[in-house]
Structure 1
Amino acid sequence: QREFTQKKTFTSWINSILAKHTPPYVVSDLYTDIQQGHLLLDLLEVLSGQHLPREKGFNTFQCRSNIENALTFLKSRSLKLINIHVADIIEGKPSIVLGLIWTIIFHFHIEELARTLACTYNQPSLDRSSAVDSSPKANRSAKKSAKIKERWKMSATKALLLWAKEQCSLHGSVSVTDFKSSWRNGLAFLAIIQTLRPGLAFRIAELELNIPRLLEPEDVDIVNPDEKSIMTYVAQFLQYSKSLPESEEDMQEKVREAMGWLAAQEKKLAGLLVETENETYYQKCKEMMSFMETFNQEKIPFLPVLSSKRGEAELSEGQQQMREEWDKVISQINERKAKLDQMLPSPLDSIEAWLQEVERLQAEDLPDLQDPFKAMSLFREIIVMFKDLMDCFDSHLDALQSFKNEDEKNMPLVLPEKLEEMKRRLFSNIRSTNPSTFLEYHYGLCSAIASEVKLKLNIWDVKYGAKESVESLLENW
C-alpha cells in the first residue's frame, strides 16, 4: 500500500514539474520511464535551472551514461545517495527508484521551501541587533529574535511540520503532530486551505489554488498514511503561500533590513582586511573562511528579497539600491578571494592560476553547429588551447601531491581545506573532464561533410549532359 501511494504521489509531482519543461513530458510508468535517464535529466534541469550533459540515444550505454550524469549532479550538490546505483535504476527497482525520487523531492522542493520560512518573520539586521537597548520591549524583541534564529536550525522536516501547525493553530480543534495520522481525517488540509484562502474546500484546491492533486482522500484515510507522500503534498501548499503577493509595506521593511545587513557585512569585511594586514597568509585565509561561514549562514533569511527575479523596470528605488549594494559586497568578496589565491606560496600560486584557466575554458559555451564549417575552426581553437593546458597536468599533479604544508617553524602554510579543494578540482573537474568538446567536434565535422555531400547530390540530380558540363561539376567538387 505504501509503495503504491508513493509511486502515485511521486509520479504526479514529477508530472507537475515536467509540465514546465520544453517540450512538456508526462510520466506514464515511473519505474519504466526512469530507466533511460532522460526523465531524470529533464527533471533536474527544470528544478535546478541548469543544462546537464546527456547522451541523445537510447541504447544501454547511453542510458547508463545519462543516469550517471544525473547521479553525479546530485552528488555535486552534496546529496547522500545511499545504496542508489545505476544498475538498480536501469532495472527499475521500486525501492531504489522511490528512494531516489524522494531524495530529489526533499532537497529541491521541501528543503528549499523550508529554508525560506524564516523570511516570514522580522529578522533583525546586524547593526540593529548590536545596538544596546535595555528597555523591556527590547528585551522581549531580543528573546523573540533568538527564538526565531534557533528555530531555523531545525531540520526541513520539522520546519515544514511547524509551518503546518501554525496554519492549523487558527482552527483550535485541529491538531497536527506528524505527517501521518494527523492528516487522516482531512481536517488539517482543510485548515491550511482555510488559512490561505478562507472558504475553499479541500477537493477544489487543485482548481482554485492550482495545486496538483497528488493525493486522494482514500490515500490518507487509512490507519497508517504514508509520511513521504503527505510531506510532498503539504509542501505544495507552502509553495503556494510563498507565491501570494506581498504588501508594499512588508517588502520595503525587508529591503531596509537587507540593506542594513549588507552595510554591516561591507564594514565587517573592510575591518577584516585592516586587522589581518600583518598576519601570515594562513591566518588571513582562516579569518576569511570564518567570515564566509558566518556570511553564508546569515544571508539565508535575506535570499528571497536579494534574489528577486523582477526586471530592472519593476524594481523600486530601494530594491535597485539593495541589488547594487549586494553586487558590490559580492564583488569585494571575490576580489579578496582572488588576492588570497595570488598570495598562495609557490608552486600553489601557479597551480591555482592553471586550474582557473582550465575551468574558464571548460565553462565556455560550445560553438553553434548551425554553420558547421565556422564551428569547426572554433572547435579546433578550443581543443588546441585545452591540449596545451593539459600538457601541464602531470607536473601540477606531482607538485600538489608533494607539497609540504609547513614552514621552518613547522606551522601550516595553507589551510588544509584549500589544499583539499585544489586536489578535488584537479581530480573531479579536470582529470575526469567530459569529452563533449571533442565529441561535438567530430559530430560537427561529420555534419559539415554530410551537408556538403547532400548539396552536391542535389545539384547532380540531372542527366550527365555534355562532357564539358560533367568536367565542370567534377572541378567544382
Structure 2
Amino acid sequence: MTSPTRTILSPTATRITTIIQNTTVISPRTIPARSQLEESISTLQNEQERVQKKTFTKWVNIYLSLHEPTYYINDLFEDFRDGTKLIALLEVLSGQTLPIERGKKRAHCLSNVDNALKYLESRKIKLVNIRPIDVVDGKPMTILGLIWMLILCYQIEDSSMFDESSKDNRSKAKEALLEWVRKKTSGQIDGLDVRDFTSSWRDGLAFNALIHAIRPDLVDLRRVTRMDVRERLENAFNVAEQQLGVPRLIDAEDVDVVKPDEKSIMTYIAQFSRRFPDLPFGSINKEHGELLRWVADARQRLTLILEAPIQDIQAEYKEYVKQQKEFIEKQKQWKAFERKESKSPNFPGEKLKELKDFFDDIALRMNRWRFKLDTNLPGELGQIADWINTAEEVLSRGINFDRLKSSPEENIQRFNQLNEEHAAIFTDKEAMLRTFQRIKRDPSIINKQISYEHLTNLNERLDTIMNASEERGRYLEFEELRWKVQKLFVQLEFFIMELNKKQGDINQTEKLYNEYQ
C-alpha cells in the first residue's frame, strides 16, 4: 500500500511561506496614485510655508522698525539664527530689556535664543517642541511656530476686544477673533457669512465688508460686488493700508487660492481688531471706553513688569520714566472727564468711582515699580534708596487717631511714640545726605551703576524728605508739648474745683470777709 505523499518544509521555509501569505500585494496602478497624493500634500505644505514666511516676515519688520536701533530682516529663517533680532522683537513686544551677547560664535547664538525662550516661558507662554538649537539651525517649521506663538500671544490674544476670560483661555483666541469679525460684517453684504479664516475670505467680499463696517465712506459695497476676485482683494488691501493704516501683510495671489493660509489671514485681520476695537464691556460712552481700555492695558502691562526680574536696571528705569509720563497725562484726561461727567445726570456715579479706583490701583503699581528699581541698586546706592523709601512711607502717614476724643494722657503717649519713631529714622539724615552727595560726584557711578535720570530722581526726593521731615518733626514736638500743657490745665482746673469744695465759692468768701471787717 502506497502512503500518501507529504511535503516536508524546513523551519526557515515555513517562516518564508508565512511572510509571503501575510504580505499585501500592491498593484502597480496604486503606486503612481500614491506618489501623486504625496506630491500634492508636499506642494500644499510648501505653499503654506511660503505664504506664512512672507506674512510673518512683514509682521516682524513692523515691530523691528520700532526698536532702537531699528532692525530689518530679509529672510525669516536665516536672520533669526543669531538670536539678536529675536531678542529685539521681544523687547518691542514686551517693553522689557533682555540680556544679549554680541559675539558671532554658535555658543553666543544659542545663548541669545535660549534667553529669548526662557523669557517667554517666564511669561507662561507655552512653547511646544521649540528648542534653541532648532532656531539657530534655521529650521523653518520651528521658526514659523515660534513667530506664530508671538503673534497669537502679543497681537491676537492681547487685543483689546477680548475680555479677561478670553485672555486667560488661549484656545478661545481664534473663536473670539472670528466672533468679532462676524459682528462687524453681519448684514453688510447679502449672503456674506464669515465662518472661518480660510475659504470665507477667498472672494474678497469679507475684507471689503470689514473695512466698510469701520469706515463706510471708504468702500462702495455695490461697486465691490461687481468686481472680479483679484480686483476686490486689491481694493481691500490698498484701502486698508492707505486709509486705515493697516499694513499689507498678504497679497491677492495669497488669498485667491483653493485654501488660503489660516494663520496668515488671522495675523492680518488681528491688525484691524487692535486698531479698531469695540468699546469695552460696561463702557457708557466712547471716552469712558477709551479710558477703560487704557486702564486694562496698563494694569496688565504693569503686572508683567512687576513679576519679571530686572535685566538692565538703567534701561528699565528709562522705560519707567516713559510710562510715568504717560500715566500723568492719562490722569489729567481722567480728571477732566470726571469733572465733566460728575455734572451729567446720565453718567452713573458708581462708574466714576470704579474708574477712580482703577487709576488709584495703577498709581500704586507705579510706586511698586519704582520701589523695585530703587531696591535693586547696588551697594551704598541701594542703602540710600531703601532709606528714602522708608522715609517717604513714614512722611505719608497721617495721624490715625482722634485727638479730641482721647484724653491728654493718651495723646501725650501717642505723640511721644511718633516723636521717637521720627527721631529713629531722621536723626542720621544729614549723614545720609553727605553720603549721597559723595556718591553723586563719583564719575564711576553715573551711567555705570545708575542712570543719570534715576540719580536725579533720588536727589529730588532726598531734598523733599529733608524739608518735610523738619516740618513733621516740629509739628510732632508741638503736639506733644501742647497736650502736656493741656494736661496741666486739666490738673489746675481739678485743683480749683477741689479748693472750691473745701473753701466755698470765692465770691462768698469775699463777702464773708467784707462782713467780718
TM-score, length of structure 1 as denominator length: 0.50
> 2:253 aligned with 1:218, yes or no?
yes
Rounded to whole Å, the distance in 2 between the matches of 1:256 and 1:380 is: 36
Query: 1:170 touches 1:195 (CA, 8 Å); kept in 2?
Result: no
Query: 1:255 touches 1:318 (CA, 8 Å); kept in 2?
Result: no
Rounded to whole Å, the distance in 1 between the matches of 2:383 and 2:292 is: 49
Q: 1:220 to 1:331 in 2, by over 3 A?
A: closer
Which of these residues, 369, 376, 379, is aligned with residue 364 of structure 1? Answer: 376
* Equivalent residues in 2 for 1:298-309, closer than 5 Å: none
> 2:35 aligned with 1:3, yes or no?
no
For structure 1, list consecutive stretches of 5 or more residues without a partner in the other structure: 120-148, 260-306, 339-358, 367-376, 383-439, 446-477
Paired residue for 2:286?
250
Deviation at 1:196, TM superposition (A): 0.7
Which of these residues, 131, 151, 158, is aligned with residue 112 of structure 1? Answer: 158
Q: 1:116 to 1:152 in 2, by over 3 A?
A: farther
Paired residue for 1:64?
110
Which of these residues, 168, 190, 194, is aligned with residue 208 of structure 2? Answer: 190
The residue type paired with residue 40 of structure 1 is L
Q: 1:49 to 1:258 in 2, by over 3 A?
A: closer
Deviation at 1:316, TM superposition (A): 3.2
Deviation readout 1:149-194 (Å, 9 max, x if unpaired): 8999770100000011111103132210001110111111111011
Deviation at 1:326, TM superposition (A): 2.8
TM-score, length of structure 2 as denominator length: 0.47
> 2:195 aligned with 1:177, yes or no?
yes
Rounded to whole Å, the distance in 2 between the matches of 1:257 and 1:77 is: 22
Rounded to whole Å, the distance in 2 between the matches of 1:254 and 1:12 is: 29
- SS of alignment partner, residue 5 of structure 1: helix
Paired residue for 1:315?
334
Q: 1:309 to 1:109 in 2, by over 3 A?
A: farther
> 2:358 aligned with 1:326, yes or no?
yes
* Equivalent residues in 2 for 1:401-416, closer than 5 Å: none
Deviation at 1:108, TM superposition (A): 0.6
The residue type paired with residue 249 of structure 2 is L
> 2:37 aligned with 1:19, yes or no?
no
Query: 1:180 touches 1:225 (CA, 8 Å); kept in 2?
Result: yes
> 2:109 aligned with 1:77, yes or no?
no
Deviation readout 1:20-46 (Å, 9 max, x if unpaired): 111221111111110010111111110
Query: 2:84 touches 2:112 (CA, 8 Å); kept in 1?
Result: yes
Paired residue for 1:268?
none
Question: Which has more radius of gyration?
Answer: 2
The residue type paired with residue 312 of structure 1 is Q
> 2:179 aligned with 1:162, yes or no?
yes
Rounded to whole Å, the distance in 1 between the matches of 2:126 and 2:251 is: 31
Rounded to whole Å, the distance in 2 between the matches of 1:216 and 1:103 is: 22
Deviation at 1:67, TM superposition (A): 0.4
Query: 2:155 touches 2:270 (CA, 8 Å); kept in 1?
Result: yes
- SS of alignment partner, residue 170 of structure 1: coil
Deviation readout 1:427-451 (Å, 9 max, x if unpaired): xxxxxxxxxxxxx99xx89xxxxxx
Paired residue for 2:41?
none
Which of these residues, 41, 47, 65, is aligned with residue 87 of structure 2? Answer: 41
Rounded to whole Å, the distance in 1 between the matches of 2:153 and 2:166 is: 21
Deviation readout 1:209-251 (Å, 9 max, x if unpaired): 111100001101100111000000000111120399xx99333
Deviation at 1:78, TM superposition (A): 1.1
The residue type paired with residue 61 of structure 1 is A
Rounded to whole Å, the distance in 2 between the matches of 1:255 and 1:208 is: 25
Rounded to whole Å, the distance in 2 between the matches of 1:178 and 1:240 is: 21
Query: 2:167 touches 2:173 (CA, 8 Å); kept in 1?
Result: no
Paired residue for 1:385?
none
Which of these residues, 119, 126, 138, is aligned with residue 92 of structure 1? Answer: 138
Q: 1:318 to 1:16 in 2, by over 3 A?
A: same
Rounded to whole Å, the distance in 2 between the matches of 1:151 and 1:74 is: 16
Query: 1:56 touches 1:62 (CA, 8 Å); kept in 2?
Result: yes
- SS of alignment partner, residue 177 of structure 1: coil
- Give the paired residue count: 276
Rounded to whole Å, the distance in 1 between the matches of 2:167 and 2:143 is: 33
Rounded to whole Å, the distance in 2 between the matches of 1:226 and 1:241 is: 23
Q: 1:258 to 1:46 in 2, by over 3 A?
A: closer
* Equivalent residues in 2 for 1:462-473, closer than 5 Å: none
Deviation at 1:325, TM superposition (A): 2.2
Query: 1:176 touches 1:182 (CA, 8 Å); kept in 2?
Result: yes
For structure 2, list consecutive stretches of 5 or more residues without a partner in the other structure: 1-46, 219-234, 296-325, 339-351, 385-443, 450-517
Runs of 4+ residues over 6 Å off in structure 1: 149-154, 253-259, 330-334, 377-382
Higher RCO (CA 8 Å, separation ≥ 6 residues): 1
Deviation readout 1:266-294 (Å, 9 max, x if unpaired): xxxxxxxxxxxxxxxxxxxxxxxxxxxxx
Rounded to whole Å, the distance in 1 between the matches of 2:272 and 2:134 is: 33
Q: 1:14 to 1:255 in 2, by over 3 A?
A: closer
Let me know the Cα RMSD of the aligned residues.
Answer: 4.3
Deviation at 1:91, TM superposition (A): 0.6
Rounded to whole Å, the distance in 1 between the matches of 2:375 and 2:252 is: 48
Q: 1:239 to 1:365 in 2, by over 3 A?
A: farther
Deviation at 1:380, TM superposition (A): 12
The residue type paired with residue 358 of structure 2 is W
Deviation at 1:55, TM superposition (A): 1.2
- SS of alignment partner, residue 36 of structure 1: coil
Q: 1:380 to 1:193 in 2, by over 3 A?
A: closer
